Structure 1
């Protein structure tokens, strides 16, 4: 299937590792011109060097001025923007205590500021370019949006769902489709050698692990012109969690 992404101009936040990096590689493989956005200059240089034709722009998504400058730089380097994929998020704290006792105020605010409000900042800066000819926004959230246990994890992810639908309603009539994906336990370079994680990640409806490349392939479809009718949709990419029914 030709996704129609050849020559598309795509900005991927959180593009130095994990799902963001996999998305950058997948988009480039479809012929898109890719700009990776991240905070670490050295990691950006390394990531962009591994993707043919990719460029790097630096920003912390908690800094609105830096985001606006980086998006403008990306648009200048690529000659515009057609696609934005938001994947920039802090890593969840390991072994976090469940419930109220596990809520760390500083971490809660950092997570929401980076992942939820950070996504808003990026789309707000990119909207003028996307509206110039229609475009796609794909927001990477997570299955914690549909599970209790970590208040911080649930809130930072369900906020992305609410942001996605608001943006879909606002930008959809102007030709910009906005969607959200919920990866579950996903195998990235960080956990590829962790046997316990790999075992847990394989306990889904497919009985196999879901990789960052699996997620990236679906994100590429949502970023393509073929997926415009998915505007406002939220799609689970966890291999099918046994039990729950999502209506």
Structure 2
């Protein structure tokens, strides 16, 4: 299926790794030029190489601290100096985990700066360029924990719930301008960082953190959150639906919250 992304210009925040990188590669493979925003310069350059190899005609790597309003504004100003219009904004930033008892006021503020305000600031900065394009799409990455709670994700989930509400409101306010806005809610996804960070934890219980079936068995045992397919997801499975929602081919889906969770939807 031709998604109509050839020649488009797209920004992916958090595009240097994990789901953000998979989305950026998918956009590039469809013929879009892609700007990656993230903090780590080395990771950005490595990601840009991969996106370029996937087929992106132009790839930009822009350093930005997504918890800092001035840094976000400067990154989008730099981008506007290079591109006079923008078709796609995909926002993938998420805050860290932690239980209620562990989190300080500073932790809560950080969670909302990363999980909600980074999207507010990115959309605000991108809107002039999105409005200048003949068609435009915004996709945010929320989380299925906004509907299926986990005590270790209390601030994360609160910030992502606010992001989902923001996304739906933007769909309503920007719809008359033809800008479609949607949210993707990933379930448990096996990214490289997931595998690395939880390797020892899962190994101690006899599970392989790189095996999607083992990961889901561990999630079910630890959190009581099974899924119908019996395995965790992969970054490219998030990328495929995100790229469709971000594409010109999507002409009528807006204001949607799309679960991509292997059938772990809730009653």
Q: Paired residue for 2:215?
A: 200
Task: State the partner residue of 1:24.
Answer: 24
Corresponding residue for residue 257 of structure 2: 234
Moved more, 233-242 or 28-37: 233-242
2:121 matches 1:121: yes
Provide, for residues 6-46 of structure 1, a one-character-per-residue CA deviation record: whole Å limited to 9, x for no partner: 11100000011111111110100011100000011121112
| Bigger Cα displacement from structure 2, 75-84 vs 27-36 | 75-84
Q: Which has more radius of gyration?
A: 2
Instruction: Give the conservation status (yes or no) of the 8 Å contact 2:2–2:249.
Output: no
Once the two structures are overlaid, the 10-residue window that deviates more, 74-83 or 118-127, is: 74-83
The residue number in structure 2 matching 1:82 is 87
1:69 aligns with 2:74: yes
Q: CA deviation at 1:77?
A: 2.9
Check whether the contact 1:11–1:74 (CA below 8 A) recurs between aligned residues. Answer: no
Q: Indicate which of 61, 70, 73 corresponds to 1:56.
A: 61
| Structure 1 stretches lacking a partner, 5+ long | none
Deviation at 1:104, TM superposition (A): 2.8
Give the RMSD, CA atoms, in angstroms: 1.8
* Unpaired runs of at least 5, structure 2: 53-57, 200-206, 218-225
* Length-normalised TM-score, structure 1: 0.90
Deviations 1:25-69 (A, max 9, x none): 010001110000001112111211222131111111222222122
Q: How does 1:91-240 map to 2 (within 5 A)?
A: 92-93=96-97, 96-97=98-99, 100-132=100-132, 133-148=134-149, 149=151, 150-192=153-195, 194=199, 195-197=207-209, 198=212, 199-201=214-216, 203-240=226-263
1:36 aligns with 2:39: no
Give aligned pairs, total: 239
* Contact 1:68 1:125 (8 Å CA) reproduced: yes
The answer to which of 118-127 and 202-211 deviates more is 202-211
Q: Deviations over 1:88-134 (max 9, x none)?
A: 223x23xx33xx42443221110111120100100000001111123
TM-score, scaled to structure 2: 0.84
TM-fit CA distance, 1:228 = 3.2
Secondary structure in 2 matching 1:160 = helix
* CA contact 2:135–2:248 (8 Å) conserved in 1: no
